[in-house]
Amino acid sequence: MAERLNWSYAAQADGGPSVAGAGVIEVDAYVKVSVTIPAGATQAVEVLPGTGAPLRLLVIAPAAPSADLTYAAGGADIPLDGPHVLVGAGAVALLADPVGTLSFTNGTAADARVDILAGRDATP
């Protein structure tokens, strides 16, 4: 039985145009993870078990965005200076394929909470 994940976005220039969209993506399974990365630490976070799986949706949302809070994907350290919302297999593939464990580094002076929602199909 497919799980339905609702997604939406909106961005508007102050006093100018806007772009918005919404939809539903069906996946076989999803995982929700909330983790606290200690100040000054690097921590591995298992998003999907084992070597991971191809994703169709990935949201990484820091409680307090910061360029000093990063995660490693595809050989690069990516700053969490805002929420990262990747909808569709093509968007998620920009990070790494498949996604299993992500390594977070908190270069800030305070502990950092990060929420992750990942949706995937059971077969590649």
Domain ranges (residues) in the chain: 28-120
**What is the model's pLDDT at position 18?**
97
**What is the model's pLDDT at position 51?**
66
The Cα-based distances of 42 to 55, 80, 84, 103, 109 in angstroms read 24, 14, 19, 7, 13
Do you know the residue count of the chain?
124
Smallest CA-to-CA distance from 28 within 51, 48, 56, 60 is with 56
What's the whole-model pTM score? 0.90
Class of domain 28-120: mainly beta
Residues of the chain with pLDDT under 50: none
**What is the model's pLDDT at position 19?**
97
